Chain A
């Protein structure tokens, strides 16, 4: 085992060990925070090394416990961890987001004096979530993917209902139920696939599923797509998301919005191009993508709460990624991969900014906001850049991602692809409209013009915020944004801008990753050896 393959399990191991340590150190908040930051920063370094290694030396494979292929034709028997270009890129982006958000959460927590409040479980749970997300990107077999989904879901249940206020419990119940149904459908799919092929290793499955009759194969693909579609919030299965995300604390919503849906998108990419190549559901996926985009953004127009509005745009933009995947071409996949990267960063940033707005103005609904551009020009800038980025204004990364996708759609040339191209442009325009509306209302108009401008929350929502209304003037802590919250937000904006500055290398990397994802022989050869 070479030195680089020894790095492969680390993105999962470091956070899980960190979680155990921080759980024991619940009474020492300083140490707890230190360990969390060190662990997640170490994960960023490891992931960057993995990205370098996977790009230079090809796919890295680790058979845990040495349970590689014992009998030829049986496939690997144990858990397999695989890092190719796609998973390496996802790992790097996710780990950057994880560090930035935990920095933000700590910045928020210290400021609110969390020594008095029982939030000592926040950091351990967050680390478990990190381990689950990283493991999902590493997983080389379906059952391991299921287990990592469960790990990150269990952690997300705790984070979403943290503090257990009435509203969070209500949102938490529907979130838990929908997530569990999705997991059970996934498990159901695993059982059926195991019945059809006798293996769950993804590389081995890719080979064996080719010999399954097309009808059965299509049905198995559909079951997995429903399971992953719920997680990724693709249209008919997306209604749970805007219902449950907005009630959580800002950093929690930010990390959920950035990462959890993208884990679902990643699973769809794997199912679509590795397991069920030519699965025959591309037109279904294209229509789902179109509806996801349009209905998501229409929902966003109707909202007055910025968190809910952003949740709807999150759903809407999942459509772009599904669009790229369903084109089943290398340019389409390139666009989808670049768009996932861009969207993880920009959506997380926007939710972090909403946290800052809540801190500054004591509300996140447009009915109460106003005059923020004058109250804090810095906050206006911090919102403005990612908002334009989401809307797809050149030269920001949203524009590059969309142009890549539109080109791929045009190159496909079918009627449905052109409809999707038109839908993407409309969605982009409407997203820009929604963002402008938020900017005009929250930042430009006078707060006295807002219908409920005189009201605010009693104190800034903390990790355990119990929203309580008071008159704005009676509010404590007005207009104080801690440095620990502002710096990570600015850092993430910087990463978003880096996606523009380094667009050339990143798009060409995404292109190589897409080529690798679509050329599954190479993945199969790396995992089960050159015997096939």
Chain B
């Protein structure tokens, strides 16, 4: 099987550019990166599908070729393109919504994650018994004492 170098180099360039863009925090760039990688992979599938040839329909020929083209590779690429298009539309909607909500295109960090990583040992183990002088001792010891009772004392 002959392999053409040009499509392979193109696939490599598209993938590496895509990975570079995907590592950004800017949503538009991430989407572009995703699309570039998707196109690189589609190109790869077409390349591995073999050489061009007759249409895969019984009795049809084209340019007097002797072999038929692989229809499966094209079918797969078509499916992959449709899926990527759908997801790209969804990501664009998400990016627009994110921009409307935060007026920034950057993707932020998980706030809870930051909070957990910053919490001190004391906060993490909040079972430490703290003196709470403001609680009235003569109140009925309800297990589910409403927090409001704290303020009343």
What is the CA–CA distance of A167 and B102 in the complex, to the nearest angstrom? 10
Could you tell me the distance between the alpha carbons of A464 and B34 in the complex, rounded to whole angstroms? Answer: 29
Residue of B nearest to A184 (CB): B37
**A371 to B143, Cβ gap below 8 A?**
yes
- A188 to B80: give the CA distance in the assembly, Å: 11
Given A191-B41, A243-B110, A448-B149, decide whether A375 and B144 contact each other with a Cβ distance below 8 A: yes
A159-173 vs B, CB cutoff 8 Å, 1 = contact: the mask equals 001001111011111
Interface centre among B45, B112, B132 (most CB of A within 10 A): B112
Taking the nearest CB of chain A, how far is it from the CB of B77, in angstroms?
9
Selected from B94, B116, B146, the residue in CB contact (under 8 A) with A161 is: B94
Q: Nearest B residue to A243 by beta-carbon distance?
A: B110
- Bound complex: CA of A454 vs CA of B149, how far in Å? 10
Segment touching B, from A297-305, A317-325, A515-523: A297-305
* A243 near B113: Cβ-Cβ < 8 Å: yes
Take A180-B34, A374-B143 as given contacts and tell me if A188 and B44 are in contact as well, using a CB distance cutoff of 8 Å. yes
Of A200, A366, A373, A453, the contact of B143 (CB 8 Å cutoff): A373
Contact A157-B44, Cβ < 8 Å, known A143-B76, A150-B83, A166-B102: no
- Cβ B30 vs Cβ A154 within 8 A: no
Contact (Cβ within 8 A) A191 B44: yes
Which of chain B's residues have a CB closer than 8 A to the CB of A154? 83, 86-87, 90
Contact-residue size bin, chain B (C-beta under 8 Å from the other chain): 35 or more
Q: Is B69 interfacial (CB-CB < 8 Å)?
A: no
B126 at the interface (CB under 8 A from A): yes
Indicate if A367 sits at the interface (CB-CB under 8 A).
Answer: yes
The A-contacting residues of B in range 16-70, CB under 8 angstroms, are 22, 27, 30, 34, 37-38, 41, 44-45, 48-49
Chain A residues lying within 8 Å of B79, measured Cβ to Cβ, are: 143, 147
Closest residue to A472 on the B side, CB-wise? Answer: B147
Shortest distance from the beta carbon of A457 to any chain B beta carbon, whole Å = 14
A194 and B45 contact, Cβ closer than 8 Å, known pairs A448-B149, A454-B148: yes
CB neighbours of A243 from chain B (8 A): 110, 113
Interface stretch among A22-30, A265-273, A386-394, A439-447?
A439-447
Is A191's CB under 8 angstroms from B124's CB?
no
**In the complex, are the beta carbons of A302 and B116 less than 8 A apart?**
yes
Q: Name B150's contact: one of A304, A448, A451 (CB within 8 Å).
A: A448
Using CB atoms, name the residue of chain A closest to B3.
Answer: A195
Q: Is the CB of B150 within 8 A of A194?
A: no
Compute how far the CA of A471 lies from the CA of B146 in the bound complex, rounded to whole angstroms. 11
Q: Does A308 contact B (CB under 8 A)?
A: yes
Could you tell me the distance between the alpha carbons of A371 and B72 in the complex, rounded to whole angstroms?
62
User: A304 contacts which chain B residues (CB < 8 A)?
Assistant: 116, 119, 124
Residue contact A177 to B80, C-beta cutoff 8 Å: no
Tell me the minimal C-beta distance from A354 to chain B in angstroms: 15
Determine the main DSSP class of B at the interface with A: helix
- The minimal Cβ–Cβ distance linking B44 to chain A, given in whole angstroms, is 5
Does any Cβ of A come within 8 Å of B6's Cβ?
Answer: no
Q: Does B127 contact A (CB under 8 A)?
A: yes
User: Is A246 located at the chain interface by the 8 A CB criterion?
Assistant: yes
Q: How far is the CA of A195 from the CA of B123 in the complex (A)?
A: 56
Judge whether A422 is part of the interface by a CB distance below 8 angstroms. no
Please provide the chain A residues from 182 to 211 with a CB less than 8 Å away from any CB of chain B in the complex: 184, 187-188, 190-192, 194-195, 200
In the complex, per-residue mask of A488-504: 1 if CB is within 8 Å of any chain B CB, else 0: 00000000000000000
A381 → chain B closest CB, angstroms = 16
Chain A neighbourhood of B149, CB < 8 A? 448
**Alpha-carbon distance between A195 and B102 when the two chains are bound, in angstroms:** 45
Q: Which residues of A contact B73 (CB under 8 A)?
A: 194
A244-268 near B? 1/0 per residue, CB < 8 Å: 0010000000000000000000000
Q: Does A450 contact B (CB under 8 A)?
A: yes
Set of chain A residues within 8 Å of B98, measured between Cβ atoms:
169-170, 173
Chain A residues within an 8 Å CB radius of B38: 184, 187
Q: Which residue of A lies closest to B148 (CB)?
A: A473
A194 to B49, CA, bound (A): 8
With A164-B97, A374-B142 already in contact, the answer to whether A187 and B91 are too (CB < 8 A) is: no
In contact, A177 and B30 (Cβ under 8 angstroms): yes
The closest CB in chain B to the CB of A147 belongs to: B79
Contacts of A191 in B (CB 8 A): 41, 44-45, 48
Rounded to whole angstroms, the CA-CA distance of A375 and B91 in the bound complex is 43
Closest to A478 in B: B146
Whether a CB of chain B sits under 8 angstroms from the CB of A508 is: no
Closest Cβ of chain B to A219, distance in Å, is: 15
B107 within 8 A of A: yes
Q: How far is the CA of A302 from the CA of B114 in the complex (A)?
A: 12
* Residues on the A chain within 8 Å of B102, using CB: 166
Q: Contact at A305–B112, with CB atoms within 8 Å?
A: yes
* Partner of B145 from A177, A246, A446 at Cβ < 8 Å: A446
Could you tell me the distance between the alpha carbons of A154 and B84 in the complex, rounded to whole angstroms? 10
A169-B97, A184-B37, A473-B146 known; A448 vs B135 contact (CB < 8 Å): yes
Residues of A within 8 A of B133 (CB): none
Inside 8 A of B44's CB, which chain A residues have their CB?
188, 191-192
- Bound form: Cα–Cα A440–B126 in Å: 12
The 10 closest A-B pairs by CB, nearest first: A195-B48, A374-B143, A371-B144, A454-B147, A375-B144, A191-B44, A191-B45, A374-B144, A166-B101, A169-B98
- What 4 new A-B contacts, CB under 8 Å, besides A158-B90, A187-B38? A164-B97, A176-B91, A370-B144, A448-B149
